[in-house]
Amino acid sequence: MRCPACGQMVSTTSGKIGYSSYASGPFQQLEYRHGTPKNINVASTVTSRSLQSAQKLSTLLISAIVIVTLLLLASGVSLMYYAGIIHPTQLHNQATATAQVLQNASRHTTATAHAHATATVRADKADKKAAAIVAAQATAQVKAAIAMQQNMYARSTSGKPAFSSPLFFESGTDKEGEADWDIYPTKDGGGCAFTGNALHSSVFQANYYAPCIAHGLRIHNFALEIQMAILKGEEGGVIFRSNAHDKNFYSLRLKTDGIYALILTRDDGHTTPLIYEKSPFIKKGNGQANIVTVIARASTIYLYINKHYMGSASDHTYSAGAIGVLAIDRQDGTDVAFNNLRLWKL
């Protein structure tokens, strides 16, 4: 029969011996030694192949790890280079650019502010210069107007008067006759009278006035000049273009505090100030002599005090009438003395 292990023929005459030889004889050892190498060779081959595959995998893995490591190193170096050199440079460049922009903006703002400030200063200087020019022109115009009015005063009072009197007593030279002053006493002790080498107008009743009219001296266009002194009280003046029983007239009034006024009086007792001002040219106080001058041309009236031009006004209410003087009582009685009347016809 054949051996199950090797396939060789063996003796079968005695099944027991044969089987025994198979089980414990040299055949069994031989076949064991023979069979084992075969098993070892197979395993060795498989192991060799596995080792080769593992070596290949290890090589690939190592290569991959090396490549990844190199990439990481390269990335790290790049990152370090970017973080350490490129990015700071960029930040520096950006900061420099920003600083430059801010510096340029600051310079522009400063230049703009300086330009605006310079323009403002120049505008202020221009405004002040313009205001100074306007003021100078206005001053020049005022001076020119005053000079013109002073020239008119000189021309109007330079010739021989049509009437003149020292007013020591009722006298004068008027080719139309005597001045015909309205002389009268009043119950309160006032009135119109020549006394003490002057023509006096006096009133001693509060809020009344005492007119003294020269009915013989009626005139249209004229220049009138007279000296007056307020001896007692506060106010006195001259009358001109008087009509209707001495109730309608103009008057130039002076007060002891330096105020002067041009007043329009109507027969209903109503008075209208046409001019009311204060002047440094008026001598203040009682007993002070002031020279007042009125020049009337048509509807325009010019006023002078102590030969200084005061002002003018235009009014069409009265065009002609008599001249005179007056005293006004405001509280404690008034007495005014007049001298040196001169009258020019224009």
Q: Count how many Cα atoms sit within 13 Å of the Cα of residue 46 in the half-sphere of its side chain.
A: 5
Low pLDDT (below 70) residues in the chain = 1-58, 60, 64, 66, 68-69, 72-99, 101-103, 105-106, 108-111, 113, 170-177
Q: What is the pLDDT of residues 187-231, one digit of tens each?
A: 889 999 999 999 999 999 999 999 999 999 999 999 999 999 999
CB-CB contact of 258 with 252 (8 Å) = no
Q: How far apart are CA 120 and CA 113, in angstroms?
A: 10
Q: How many helices (H) and strands (E) does the chain have?
A: 3, 15
Task: List 214's β-bridge partners, or say none.
Answer: 181, 323
| 179: nearest Cα among 224, 221, 209 | 224
Report field, pTM of the whole predicted structure over 0.85: no
| 226: nearest Cα among 212, 215, 205 | 212
Predicted pLDDT at 103: 67
Third-level CATH fold of 163-345: Jelly Rolls (2.60.120)
Could you tell me the CA-to-CA distances from 286 to 154, 209, 234, 260 in Å, in that order? 29, 18, 8, 15
Predicted pLDDT at 138: 84
Segment holding 213, helix H or strand E: strand 208-219
Q: How far apart are CA 111 and CA 119, in angstroms?
A: 12
Ranges of each domain in the chain? 163-345
Predicted pLDDT at 310: 97
Total length of the chain: 346
